[in-house]
Amino acid sequence: MAKLYFYYASMNAGKSTTLLQADFNYRERGMRTLLFTAGAHDRGGQGVIDSRLGIVADAIPFAEDTDLRLIAEEAHFQAPLACILVDESQFLSPAQVRQLAHLADEVGIPVLCYGLRTDFQGKLFPGSAELLALADSLVELKSVCECGRKATMNLRVDAEGNAVRQGEQKEIGGNERYIALCRRHFMQRTAPVGAAQ
């Protein structure tokens, strides 16, 4: 039976690298895959999944209103899909997560989603919340805080390295905008100025 998987982690944990390795493994065995990535994510170009290690693959970009189920079913009808892989899955809408669950449950295609669990304020992304609720398998990929503990949080910083406490939930950036931290250091860095730590 096909499953819906959610691989989640903080920034710089290798989510895209892990996705691209899984895609390679399927393709190496002659199996067909379908890759999606958030249209808002354009670090390597529109419709590109890129790893900081330099590995890249083309993908179908999605917006909040993209019908992933329709695209996947049409592709599967043309030639059977062995797997669907979704990068930046935190940007999925709850309805899209349900479409992916349908593809696993009713069409029989495994769906592997990779993304952030929380934003720079420690709040769940809507897509991540739905995946945490519906996924058959939850897998945490590990990253390391500057103190050596497991990093679970994503701190957004300004040009001077100061914590950003307000703003849009979606803001694409890499090492220049985000720092992966353990909860303790995230809470310390985001505490109001003058608050006891």
Residue 109 structure tokens: 């295609």
| Whether pLDDT at 181 is above 60 | yes
User: Burial of 176 by CB count in 10 Å (0-12 exposed, 13-18 middle, 19+ buried)?
Assistant: exposed
Domain annotation covers residue 19: yes
Domain annotation covers residue 63: yes
Give me the mean pLDDT over the 76-94 stretch: 97
**Which range marks the domain in which residue 99 is found?**
4-142
Q: Residue ranges of the alpha helices (H) in the chain?
A: 15-28, 68-78, 94-102, 126-134, 183-190
The tokens 């694409």 sit on which residue? Answer: 172
Q: For the residues of 139-153, what is the DSSP string, one character each?
A: EEPP-B-TTSSBP-E
| Whether pLDDT at 37 is above 70 | yes
CATH number reported for the structural domain that contains residue 15 in this entry? 3.40.50.300
Q: Give the gyration radius of the chain's Cα atoms.
A: 17
Domain annotation covers residue 40: yes
Domain annotation covers residue 156: no
Domain annotation covers residue 84: yes
Domain annotation covers residue 196: no
Q: Which of 28, 73, 88, 140 is catalytic?
A: 88
Taking the CA atoms of 20, 23, 27 and 28 in sequence, report the sign of the dihedral they define: positive
- 43 pLDDT band, cuts 50/70/90, is low
Number of folded domains that form the chain: 1
Domain annotation covers residue 35: yes
Domain annotation covers residue 60: yes
- 160 is a catalytic site residue: no
- 191 pLDDT band, cuts 50/70/90, is confident
Cβ contact 178:155 at 8 Å:
yes
Q: What is the C-alpha to C-alpha distance for residues 182 and 197, in angstroms, rounded to an integer?
A: 15
118: which DSSP letter? B
Check residue 98 and give its pLDDT.
98
From residue 132, alpha-carbon distances to 3, 70, 181, 184, 189 in Å are: 13, 23, 21, 23, 26
Characterise 148 by phi-psi region: left (phi > 0), alpha (psi -120 to 50), beta (else).
Answer: left
